[in-house]
């Protein structure tokens, strides 16, 4: 049974929920969180688990191969859940090199460290790679869904880098026989998401009376899943999934951006005590994202039928919970947007 789990990117949005779930649910595991603490990594996301006796944080870059190899030895790592990545599509358009470095070379560095550490003794080992539905490309409006058999067709530097990392993971399975899993998930939302992504950015802008920049006409469609449901899916698949397999994860929950934005405006105004529709005036249509994929929608029936996982939360309830969380944690939001948290961790852990 795997008990020494290396979680990469555990100080980020989804990673922090995965670390919290594993550290609390599995007291007899050792959870090692390897994170570089880029702008997106924030140890404040993990305040409630940082003292747990089964939890260790290591500040390091997944591209630093020697350090990664040393970690495998030091902690006798037998399971990896790999989330560390550059994750924002807009940033990948302006800075593609960083995405190739971290997402492709970083993943390769982890795979090769695992191969050397495990040295063919695959029994009880697992490399679980957390990926995205964006590798499948774009769907037509009202067309079908992405299944595990959908051909890869990435369009952004971000999705191209994630597709490449997925291919490397499968190459290690096919070439060396390494037990690997790939999960491809749809858009996540919930607490601790960096406010460059649509939902926390817009909640914060409504709070501050700033414009809400809707790309194009707001016609693009995304399939939204509450982040804790994603963390539960990872737990389920890491423990009961078939090694070598791919599982799609999604909420069966498609929303046009403009409809989601109206829901966000309504919910946020209501919780702030503003008159109904007060923040509608902030909606501002701006130039579209380059190469903006029209629609993503996941068929998660394989995961449901094989492993019994289902999303637990209705979207309206999840959005209300999320808006409430950001409004109640304005100190977190202000810390992240002011850059104060970066200065604090720089002082603690040195320059990044
Ligand atoms: P995030 O940007 O919030 O967090 C990424 C984390 O990785 C940060 O803590 C950052 O410090 C760390 N990191 C970045 N580069 C690193 C490096 N070189 N070495 C070590 N750590 C590094 O991302 P997220 O939204 O939580 O996404 C996590 C994973 O899930 C990513 O692999 C992403 O592709 C995937 N994913 C995200 C979504 C989504 O909706 N956010 C959906 C599907 C899949
Ligand atoms: O589908 C999974 C992916 O979802 C993950 O792999 C990515 O890591 C994650 O960032 C997310 O990518 P998106 O590009 O879909 O998420 P984002 O929040 O950036 O944008 C959601 C939609 O909203 C998208 O159609 C672009 C649009 N948008 C976004 C921003 C930030 C706007 O209209 N205005 C904005 O300001």
- pLDDT exceeds 60 at position 100: yes
Mutate to test the pocket of ligand 1, among 7, 18, 40, 135 (most ligand atoms within 8 A of CB): 40
The answer to whether residue 234 is domain-embedded is yes
Ligand 1 within 6 A of CB of 11:
yes
Q: Is 121 helix (H, G, I), strand (E, B) or coil?
A: coil
Long-range CB contacts for residues 142-149, cutoff 8 Å, separation at least 24 = 143/295, 145/297, 145/298, 145/299, 146/184, 146/248, 146/296, 146/297, 146/298, 146/299, 147/248, 147/299, 147/302, 148/184, 148/246, 148/247, 148/248, 148/302
Mutate to test the pocket of ligand 1, among 7, 12, 58 (most ligand atoms within 8 A of CB): 12
Per-residue pLDDT of 65-77, as tens digits, reads 999 999 999 999 9
The answer to whether residue 214 is domain-embedded is no
Cβ neighbours of residue 233 closer than 8 Å, sequence gap 6 or more: 183, 185, 247, 249, 303, 309
> Number of helices and strands (H, E) in the chain?
13, 12
133 tagged catalytic? yes
- Report residue 309's pLDDT band, with 50, 70 and 90 as the boundaries: very high
Task: State residue 278's pLDDT score.
Answer: 96
- pLDDT exceeds 60 at position 351: no
Looking at all shown ligands, the one closest to residue 200's CA atom is 2
The answer to whether residue 280 is domain-embedded is no
Task: For residue 163, give its domain range.
Answer: 4-190+227-253+291-314
Mutate to test the pocket of ligand 1, among 38, 81, 104, 346 (most ligand atoms within 8 A of CB): 38
On whether the CB atoms of residues 304 and 248 are closer than 8 A, the answer is no
Task: State residue 143's pLDDT score.
Answer: 85
Per-residue pLDDT of 3-31, as tens digits, reads 999 999 999 999 999 999 999 999 999 99
Find the catalytic residue in 35, 78, 134, 223: 134
Average pLDDT over residues 203-222: 98
- Report residue 182's pLDDT band, with 50, 70 and 90 as the boundaries: very high
Task: State residue 349's pLDDT score.
Answer: 64
CA 103–ligand 2 middle distance (angstroms) = 18
The answer to whether residue 200 is domain-embedded is no
The answer to whether residue 220 is domain-embedded is no
- Report residue 352's pLDDT band, with 50, 70 and 90 as the boundaries: very low
Residue 221 alpha carbon, nearest atom of ligand 2:
25
Percent of the chain with pLDDT over 70: 98
The answer to whether residue 146 is domain-embedded is yes
DSSP state of 291: T
Please state, rounded to an integer, the average pLDDT across all residues of the chain.
96
DSSP state of 196: T
Looking at the structure of the chain, the number of domains it has is: 1
The answer to whether residue 27 is domain-embedded is yes
Q: What is the pTM of this model?
A: 0.98
158 tagged catalytic? yes
Task: State residue 350's pLDDT score.
Answer: 62
Angle value at C-alpha 155, between 149 and 156, nearest 5 degrees: 125
Task: State residue 342's pLDDT score.
Answer: 74
Task: State residue 179's pLDDT score.
Answer: 98
240 vs 1, more confident: 240
Ligand 1 within 6 A of CB of 87:
yes
The pocket around ligand 2, CB under 6 angstroms, is made up of: 87-89, 132-134, 186-187, 197-198, 201, 213-215, 220, 222, 257, 289, 296
Average pLDDT over residues 139-147: 93
**CATH value at residue 72:** 3.40.50.720
39 tagged catalytic? no
Find the catalytic residue in 61, 133, 223, 269: 133
The answer to whether residue 72 is domain-embedded is yes
Average pLDDT over residues 90-113: 98
């Amino acid at each position: 049974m795997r008990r020494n789990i290396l979680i990469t990117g555990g100080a980020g949005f989804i990673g922090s929920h995965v670390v919290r779930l594993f550290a609390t649910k599995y007291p007899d595991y050792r959870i090692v969180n390897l994170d570089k603490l880029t702008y997106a990594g924030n140890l404040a996301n993990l305040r409630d688990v940082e003292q747990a006796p089964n939890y260790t944080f290591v500040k390091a870059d997944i591209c630093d191969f020697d350090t990664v190899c040393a970690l495998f030895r030091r902690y006798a790592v037998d399971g990896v859940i790999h989330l560390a990545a550059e994750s924002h599509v807009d940033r990948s358009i302006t800075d593609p090199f960083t995405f190739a470095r971290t997402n492709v070379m970083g993943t390769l560095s982890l795979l090769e460290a695992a191969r050397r550490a495990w040295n063919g003794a695959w029994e009880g080992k697992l490399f679980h790679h957390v990926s995205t539905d964006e590798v499948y490309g774009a769907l037509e409006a009202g067309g079908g869904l992405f299944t595990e058999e959908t051909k890869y067709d990435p369009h952004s530097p971000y999705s191209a880098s994630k597709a490449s990392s997925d291919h490397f993971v499968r190459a290690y399975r096919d070439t060396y026989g390494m037990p690997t899993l790939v999960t491809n998930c749809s858009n996540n939302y919930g607490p601790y998401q960096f406010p460059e992504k649509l939902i926390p950015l817009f909640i914060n802008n409504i709070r501050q009376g700033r414009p809400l920049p809707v790309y194009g006409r707001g016609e693009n469609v995304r399939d939204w899943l509450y982040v804790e449901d994603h963390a539960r899916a990872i737990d389920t698949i890491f423990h009961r999934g078939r090694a070598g397999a791919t599982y799609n994860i999604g909420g069966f929950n498609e929303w046009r951006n403009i409809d989601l934005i109206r829901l966000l405006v309504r919910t946020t105004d209501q919780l702030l005590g503003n008159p109904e529709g007060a923040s509608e005036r902030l909606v501002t249509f701006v130039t579209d994202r380059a190469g903006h994929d029209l629609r993503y929608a996941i068929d998660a029936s394989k995961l449901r039928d094989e492993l019994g996982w289902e999303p637990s939360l209705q979207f309206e309830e999840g959005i209300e919970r999320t808006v409430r969380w950001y409004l109640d944690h304005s100190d977190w939001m202000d810390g992240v947007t002011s850059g104060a948290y970066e200065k604090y961790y720089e002082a603690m852990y040195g320059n990044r």
